[in-house]
Structure 1
Amino acid sequence: MAGHVEDKVMSNVKSCPAYSNMADESTDISNRKHLIFSVMYIDAQSGELRTEYVRDLEIPDGKAETIYKETKDLIETNLSIDNLVAFGSDGCNTMIGSKAGVVTRLKDIKSTLINIHCHNHSPGCKRQFEDIPLFKDVDDTLTHVFKYYHCSAVRTNNLEKIQKPFNETET
């Protein structure tokens, strides 16, 4: 089903004159690296600006070379480099480094590419959330839950036991 949804999104993006690609890497609970792609484009039928999730790839590491290779492959295989106008990411050196960062290497292919730094990754974002009591409470709760499990192998093991029935599927 995911392939069908991805194909539909790719088809929509191909029919628009310009799009931006957004990428971020993350580590899941089992300590595996993932590279997540989204696109932003103007829907040809409705004229609305749309942001769509495209793909979540498990990758061996979070190095610039790996992220660049996967990003370039996604663009060249499924989209068009000609219509790519911007690339959004966090501000880490892997993504925006001036020598071998992903954006720098993409600009070697498309010199007019605009780099967009994700607002949610800026240091000021956390301070803004702290001004809203509900967000601060949620952030504090999630931080405490993380620390509770992260600092104890026994607790983590118990959590995995609780999760196991939810991961099993009937055949």
Structure 2
Amino acid sequence: MTVHVVVRVSQLNAKLVKNVKIKSYRLKQFHWLKIEGGYIFCKLCLQSGRSNVFTSGKDTNNPKSDDFKKHERSTDHKFSIAKAISCVNTKIKTGIISIMKNVYWLIKEEMPKDKLDSLNKLLIDQGFESLNILGSNTNNLNKDSNEQSGLKLSYTSHNSVDDMIRVFADIIETDNLSKIKGSKFYSLIFDESTDTSNIQNLIIYIRFVTNGIVRTKFLAIKELDEGCTAAEIYKLLKHTLEEKDLNQNNLISLGTDGASTMVGSKTGVTTRFKLDNPLILSFHCAAH
């Protein structure tokens, strides 16, 4: 990503226009060069406000390569490069934050991640230029540094979006578990469901009280590998509580449907939990 600098230097108007003899390959070799009004300038030094021969305008009709190399090694030029990179990094950071906010919005609105590109384009069209820097190739600011050359920013790729979603999930789960562990008691609500690929899953929600407010949060979804049996559901629930490091002594109630697998008086899931703790309450979901 080349940093383009547009600088108007008033003193140029007072200079005579000269035919600077500089070969085109020099402009490619020293990409920071700028010719204006018959004089040679350093775009990066102009941008950073430095004062040297390449900011006032190098007055020569026969520039030498050594002049340019010497300037590249100068403290002024190195400072200007560092400042330009810092500016670019700030823009990249702002863009990444914007992308992450957009991804989070898509998740909350239950929209497909394929809509991210069109959402970004809409915002760019409305003036959110911070998004424009992502997903594009960048050129090196200093040809001597290979680290900056050809950097590919792919924060809008499917893999990057998946990574962001996983990070969001980890942060939200950590926050929820912290609140759950701070609650004296909690309850579980769970049900079995078969997805479109004919795989049986157990979805688990948890209810708890924090700051006097009852909260219901998604806890986990587990595949029922050994079928939808009371023994399998009981095993998965116990394993999930251990996995989340939740104190099972704080479990006070269960909410299920009315199937015998769940509430059977002999081997149902709720019956198995009552064998562990006779004080546990079980509720038949009114929607079932």
Q: State the TM-score bracket (shorter-chain normalisation).
A: 0.5 to 0.7
* Alignment-derived partner of residue 229 in structure 2: 63
Alignment of 1:67-86 (within 5 A): 67-78=233-244, 79-86=246-253
Q: 2:217 aligns with which of 52, 72, 76?
A: 52
Task: Give aligned-pair identity as a percent.
Answer: 37
Of 209, 217, 231, the residue aligned with 1:42 is: 209
The 2-side partners of 1:34 and 1:15 are apart by 29
Matched to 1:69, the amino acid is K
SS in 1 for 2:287: helix
- Once residues 72 and 99 of structure 1 are traced to their aligned partners in structure 2, the CA distance between those partners, rounded to angstroms, is 19
Match of 1:11 in 2: 178
- Which residue identity is paired with 2:232? T
- Higher strand content, 1 or 2: 1
Q: How far off its partner does 1:11 sit?
A: 1.9
Q: Secondary structure at the match of 1:24?
A: strand
- Give the conservation status (yes or no) of the 8 Å contact 2:220–2:240: no
How many angstroms does 1:18 deviate by? 1.0
Q: In the TM superposition, what is the alpha-carbon distance from 1:8 to its structure 2 partner?
A: 2.4
What TM-score comes out, normalization by structure 1 length?
0.66
SS in structure 2 at match of 1:10: helix
| Alignment partner, residue 120 of structure 1 | 287
1:119 deviation in Å? 1.0
Contact 1:19 / 1:86 at 8 angstroms: preserved in 2?
yes
Q: CA RMSD for the aligned pairs?
A: 1.3
* More relative contact order, 1 or 2 (CA 8 Å, 6+ apart): 1
- Distance (whole Å) between structure 2 residues aligned to residue 24 and residue 89 of structure 1: 6
Give ranges in structure 1 of 5+ residues lacking alignment: 122-171
Gaps of 5+ in 2: 1-165
Deviations 1:16-38 (A, max 9, x none): 01110111010001110010000
Structure possessing the higher radius of gyration over alpha carbons: 2
**Residues of 1 paired with 2:184 and 2:253: CA distance?**
13
In the aligned structure 1, how far is the partner of 2:170 from the partner of 2:224?
A: 18
User: Residue by residue, what CA displacement relative to the aligned partner does 1:26-77 show, whole Å, maximum 9, x if unpaired?
Assistant: 000111001000011101xx32110001111122211111100011112234
Q: Does 1:30 align with 2:222?
A: no
- Aligned-pair distance for 1:98? 1.1
Moved over 2 A (4+): 1-8, 75-78
User: What is the TM-score with the length of structure 2 in the denominator?
Assistant: 0.40
Query: What secondary structure does 2:218 align onto?
Result: strand
1:101-129 residue CA offsets vs partner (Å, 9 max, x unmatched): 110001111110000111111xxxxxxxx
Q: Which has the higher helix share?
A: 1
Q: Which amino acid aligns with 2:213?
A: E
